[in-house]
Structure 1
Amino acid sequence: MTNKFDIAIFIGRFQPFHNGHLAVVKKALAQAQYILILCGSSNTPRNLKNPFTFTERENIILNAFSPEEQKRIYCATIDDYPYDDATWQLNVQQIVNQTLAQNKLSQYTNIALIGHKKDSSSYYLDLFPSWQTLFVENFDNISATPIRRAYYRLSHQETFPNFPIPNSTLTFLEKFRETEDYQYLKEEQSLIDTEKKAWSTAPYPPIFTTTDALLIHQNAVLLVERAKAPGKGLYAMPGGFLEENETLFHSCLRELQEETGISLNETLWKNFLRKEKIYEQPGRSERGRIITHVFYFHLPDDVLRPTVKGRDDAAKAFWLPLDKLNAKQFHDDHFHIIRELTKR
């Protein structure tokens, strides 16, 4: 059989790899000589949306296929750039070129991007005009989100429900269920379920407003380590929920003082304010619809760096050089916000 394409590229998070993904790869194998599977969100910590590492996902995917099929499948990582499509697009193209070169496949140029337009998140299928597009239908309307949530909600003795997943995924999930990482995720899901239950009788879906302080001094950023779930142990900008009788600016200063101990008068803070920006991406938090207002302050180099100490919801507060930031240590999208607002 002659393949229509040299390379089929399949982009997804595969959290976890399910029968819908399996069907797409099988179609790709029937249409292309080789398959390159790009596992997204590979620069995030374990969280409810992205619980499994790249290596774990790669093993699950490859083990779902025969040894002969595995010889035609390659996996690679791609990072998230939620507020910079151009950089994400360039990164994808670079990863594809690198992976093909490493596996001596650079001579193949007839490339197709395979995927299904399930919702607004599938817009990436239109970002690569130099590649052809191979559209596939949704397989049994399967989504990874309800699989993840049902998995986290399993009681200790409860047997696995009939998840629409291949055996390689089932085997991995059974083993992962015995780990501390699973217990961490299970606790996070339980907390969020409790929060959402409290709002379940509201006449409208709740939309929350938060403020965050991005404070830079001499190329270092002020961070806190979260003391409580969700995101316990992860880094974040000082911030929190807007209270009923305060302005956004006052909310930001209050949270900054409560979590780090920094106290300056309002006039000084206004002098140091460089930018204010709203981040409203619907899926930015697993807790629900949270819109945050970020206030970007830049302290002059000749100002003495404020001493900070973690308080309230912060286990600790500290300054970290911007070139030492690691996306895998950050809660939600805070790393990406910092990267976007401080880029030159």
Structure 2
Amino acid sequence: MPPAARPPGALAVYIGRFQPPHDAHLHTIQTALDRHAHLLVLTGSANLARSAHNPWTAPERAHLIRAALRESGHDPRRLSVRPLPDEFDAARWAAQVQAAVTAALDRLGPRPVVLTGFEKDASSSYLRWFPQWQTDPVPAQTAGGTGLLNATDLRAALLGRGEVPPQVPPAVQAFLRGFLRTRTAARLSAEYHAVQATRATLNGTPTPQHERLDLHTDPHAVWLTRRAGPIGRGLWALPATPLPPGDLPAQAAVFAHPARSPVWPTTAHVVRVTAPPPGTRPVPLAAALARPHAFFEDHHVILTRLTEEGRGASDTAG
């Protein structure tokens, strides 16, 4: 009898934002490739505009991951990098992850799936969200023995002080040196400092913040404003009004994901209004829906979801 076919090696899955890719990320990628046949890296926040929290696009991060892996002597042909959008909803986000893994298995053929990464804080809780997959965690890497290597600190060095941090692969260092000379870096540095200053006015008190967002649409257009301040300058947005906790609108769609605001956890109460809000202008609805990177915070996610719900209600009524 011929020998039984050897089962294919596992597909490892590594999820992160990689803003920027740093030495601990590269260590996890190298370890996963040493242990498994193929690695799928999912770069999160792929649908969001550039910001001080998410300075680099999904294609830029994919290029940096591949470049860092290549210069370390590893074969990038066993690596796939795919964008992963933020949904600001755990169930929807998990469905996006599962869809990306299914697509990878369609390309590679059936095989076991292993979730890799390392647990550092609440942002790593996703490692326990997929019980159907095995887990293969990688020990967290420290920064010179001074604590966990954290991309938040690296962005603070880059955007807050104009320093290229040393805890990133050489290919990433070269990219960041060039990035610091761009207008985009200057804009995001101004945004970073504005976010820090705004947080300072809250005195570190975790008081829940609330805002009202007004949504006016017709079958062909949505009425939007342009952000004028340093936080999100030039991006499309739904007009916002701060709300006191005791004066929340009824009949509002509520979006309360803690990561939706770059400054402080803020709950959005989205109200459909019958007239264009002051200071807005019409934007073709199809064009707005097709340009997620042109929107502030999660406003494109909000617009998309409420547009889908509106269409669903119209279909039901029809």
TM-score, normalisation: structure 1 = 0.77
Secondary structure of 2:69's partner? coil
CA distance in 2, matches of 1:111, 1:324: 36
Aligned to 2:3: none
Aligned to 2:42: 38
CA offsets 1:303-332 (integer angstroms, 9 cap, x no match): xxx56662xxxxx52243257412211101
Shift in alpha-carbon separation, 1:163–1:334, aligned structure 2, 3 A? same
Given the alignment, which residue of 150, 159, 179 partners 1:143? 150
Aligned to 1:134: 136
Structure 2 residue 258 is matched with structure 1 residue 278: no
Aligned to 1:227: 228
Q: What are structure 2's unaligned runs of at least 5 residues?
A: 1-5, 143-147, 313-318
CA drift at 1:240: 2.2
Secondary structure of 1:295's partner? strand
TM-score, normalisation: structure 2 = 0.82
Aligned to 1:94: 99
Q: Which structure 2 residues correspond to residues 200-215 of structure 1 after superposition, within 5 A?
A: 200=203, 204-215=205-216
| 2:234 maps to amino acid | G
Secondary structure of 1:216's partner? coil
CA distance in 1, matches of 2:272, 2:150: 37
CA distance in 2, matches of 1:93, 1:198: 41
| 1:221 maps to amino acid | V
CA offsets 1:87-107 (integer angstroms, 9 cap, x no match): 333332332333454xx522x
- Does the aligned pair in 1 maintain the 2:213–2:241 contact within 8 Å? yes
State the percentage of identical aligned residues.
Answer: 29
Q: Which structure 2 residues correspond to residues 127-206 of structure 1 after superposition, within 5 A?
A: 127-140=129-142, 141-155=148-162, 160=164, 162-200=165-203, 204-206=205-207
| 1:338 maps to amino acid | L
Q: What are structure 1's unaligned runs of at least 5 residues?
A: 250-272, 300-305, 311-315
50-59 or 208-217, which deviates more? 208-217
Structure 1 or 2: larger strand share? Answer: 1
Secondary structure of 1:153's partner? helix
Given the alignment, which residue of 248, 264, 274 partners 1:288? 264
Secondary structure of 1:165's partner? coil
CA distance in 1, matches of 2:74, 2:24: 21
Secondary structure of 1:285's partner? coil
Q: Which structure 2 residues correspond to residues 254-269 of structure 1 after superposition, within 5 A?
A: none
- Does the aligned pair in 1 maintain the 2:254–2:270 contact within 8 Å? yes
CA distance in 1, matches of 2:88, 2:202: 28
